Amino acid sequence: MKHAAGKVVLLGAGPGDPELITARALRRLGECEVVLYDALVHPSLLAHAKPGAVLVSVDVESSSEPQRAVTERLILEARAGRSVARLVCGDPLLFAQGAQQVALLAAAGVAFEIVPGVSAPLAVCAYAGLTLAHRDLSNSVAFFAMADSAENDENAHDWEKLATATKTLVLFGSVSSLERTLARLVAHGRSPHEPALTVQSASSPQQRTVVGTVGTLASLVHGAQLGAPALTVVGEVVRLREALRWFDAQPLFGKRVLVTRPRGQEAGFARGLRDAGAEPVLLPTIRLVPPADEDPLARAAREAARYDAVVFTSANGVTRFFEALRRDGGDARRLGRALVCAIGPATAETLEGYGVRADIVPTEYRGEAAADSVLTALGERVRGARVLLPRAAVAREVLPERLVAAGAHVDIVPAYVTVGASDEDAAAIRAALEARSLDVIALTSSSTAEQLVALLGADAPRLLLGVTFASIGPITTATAQKLGLDVAVTATEYTTPGLLDALVAHFANLAALTPPSPA
């Protein structure tokens, strides 16, 4: 009889790319009160856990005892009436401990569910550029686990049958067993000249691929110092790699990019970086906090109907203004007849989320262009016009100065204050730079550059040596250069998609000038 109090869900997280998790697994992850996850699970998946869920990292080896301890924890939590997720890399059942765990759960009377995941062989094929089965090259596939020691090799498999049983072989296990395993295959009839490859960390920006033959692959893998997690494929299908490879051929593949934007605003840019093959490192150099005195913003929201124009210079300004409007019991209707200007498409999109379509979005996303657009739209009405400007407490003055010079009355209202990174994020940034593990730093505003240099202090020149700086636009580039940063990439469209495009173009040009390396 099943224990009715709680339930355990075994979830396959996929092989590395966090977007390869299934919709069902993601939904279950968001429902469970306790999550026990593998250390290799992509950390961004944990953001999808239920708010307040208990998150426990379990770094288990292949031996049964640690797995039994994890299963006992699953049983304990379920019997306490909680829903529990066991989040594992790849698939819970394919060369994993899922079956053993389920047997123990069943014996304990605990209800369970299994949600399959994208397995390592499928990821290797899709991301390394081959296929397990092919009409002309392979109509049969065998998966097998390499023995963990020479003593276990002899009885691990029926080598006489396995060596030549199928056109394609997929080898699971430690690369330390690879030389011994491939030698046994050759000894039992597999050609040493047959193509073979090993892929480490498939589907992630850390993916590394070594191609050789059954006779040469082990030494090549050893020389490249490949480690876990890795998978080896043997067969003629490996010849397809050069025609089918795409993931590790992208201009940003393997680049580690520091995303300096505030938390909660980095998702779109991070997603774009992953799509281009990069690994986003989400460590903001700035935080946004409310101004010390929030009364001016509250008053502006209360009196919004009295303004002739409202100019939003950032999505953050939009969000803070409408939060104040809602706290006062108002909504978009309070803007009344006011002309609404958004400095760029991201700001305009945020406005639309509050039911307001901007009357003005200048073609150039900077203060000068916004001022000129507002002046043109107001025309002769500009003299004496009341203009509201909810913005960061510290910002460039060119916009309000131009409006005031034309005769407008401008109320500059602090909507938020930009401050430096948290101590935790600052320490993590320093550690990443000390380890030389960052390739690119993406500067998405002048303040991100200023706060980066401030947190590094006198160590900035040393720590930033060799890092590529990419800027969202000329204003940010000018600030960075004044701080002594050598900016290599400046976006021509002053948005994060524009910054991503500029980064891709930069590294594509570098790749075109660099001789190709071996596959």
Stretch (H or E) spanning 197: strand 195-200
3-118 domain in CATH 3.30.70.1450? no
Residues 6+ apart with CB under 8 A from 91: 12, 98, 116, 117, 118, 119
Domain residue spans of the chain:
3-118, 122-249, 256-285+421-513, 289-419
pLDDT 10s digits, 10-22: 999 999 899 999 9
Residue 119 amino acid letter = S
Pick the residue with more confidence: 518 or 424?
A: 424
pLDDT 10s digits, 291-321: 999 999 999 999 999 999 999 999 999 999 9
Residues 6+ apart with CB under 8 A from 72: none
Provide the 3-class DSSP secondary structure of residue 79: helix
pTM score, whole prediction = 0.82
Widest CA span of the chain, in angstroms?
93
Q: What is the dihedral of CA 462, 468, 474, 477, to 10 degrees?
A: -10
The reply to whether 289-419 shares the fold of 3-118 is no
Strands of the 195-200 sheet, one edge to the other: 141-145, 168-172, 230-234, 195-200, 208-213
Return the number of other C-beta atoms located less than 10 Å from residue 208's C-beta.
Answer: 19
Provide the 3-class DSSP secondary structure of residue 472: coil
Residue 171 amino acid letter = L
The CATH architecture annotation of domain 122-249 reads: 2-Layer Sandwich (3.30)
For the domain made up of 289-419, the CATH class stated in words is alpha beta
Provide the 3-class DSSP secondary structure of residue 61: coil
Give the integer Cα–Cα distance in Å for 87 and 121. Answer: 19
The mean pLDDT value for 475-503 works out to 95
367 phi/psi in degrees, rounded to 5: -60, -40
Q: Is residue 199 predicted with pLDDT exceeding 80? A: yes
pLDDT 10s digits, 340-391: 999 988 899 999 999 999 999 998 877 888 898 999 999 989 999 999 999 9
pLDDT of residue 517: 55
In this prediction, residue 515 has a pLDDT band, given cuts at 50, 70 and 90, of low
Look over the chain and give the mean of its residue pLDDT values, rounded to a whole number.
92
Return the number of other C-beta atoms located less than 10 Å from residue 185's C-beta.
Answer: 22
CATH number for the region 256-285+421-513 comes to 3.40.50.10090
Q: Which two tokens stand for residue 503?
A: 């980064």
pLDDT of residue 516: 58
Query: Smallest Cα–Cα separation from 350: which of 327, 320, 391?
Result: 320
Classify residue 14 by its DSSP letter: B
As to burial, measured by CB atoms within 10 angstroms (0-12 exposed, 13-18 middle, 19+ buried), residue 52 is exposed
Contact 120, 90 (CB under 8 A): yes
pLDDT of residue 61: 52
- 112 - beta bridge partners? 8
Percent of the chain at pLDDT exceeding 70: 96
Q: Is residue 102 predicted with pLDDT exceeding 70? A: yes
Residues 6+ apart with CB under 8 A from 16: 42, 89, 123, 201, 202, 203, 204, 206, 207
